[in-house]
Amino acid sequence: MIVHAGSINRHHVHMLVAIRPDLSVSRAVKHLKGRSSHKLLDEFGIMRKRYWGQHLWARGYCVNSRGNVTDEVWIDYIKNKTPPEPDDNFEVTSVR
């Protein structure tokens, strides 16, 4: 799985991801949510206390295939995606 672009805000995440043809979309999303959840809860102890016994991510997800749109158009869309209202106190502090 390769992540080509991403945008994060308080309520949702936009990502342009390439997955292997033998990997189902639902399995890829499950993998992304599971790995990111474990990583976030390991790195930020306060989140572990807040989400103890709960799910970090919501159940649902939305997937669009790129269709007739080029990767560059999707990347521009994702990079220019801003929240509809300001997210006071929300910022991404590091990207790895």
User: Choosing from 77, 78, 86, 93, which is the catalytic residue?
Assistant: 77
Query: Hey, where are the domains in the chain?
Result: 2-79
- The model's pLDDT over 8-53, given as tens digits with 9 standing for 90+, comes to 777 778 888 889 999 999 999 999 888 888 888 888 877 777 777 6
Lookup: tokens for 29: 């999303």
Which residue, 34, 1, 35, 36, is CA-closest to 17? 1
51 is catalytic: no
pTM, two decimal places: 0.66
Query: What's the rounded Cα separation, in Å, for the pair 48 and 65?
Result: 34
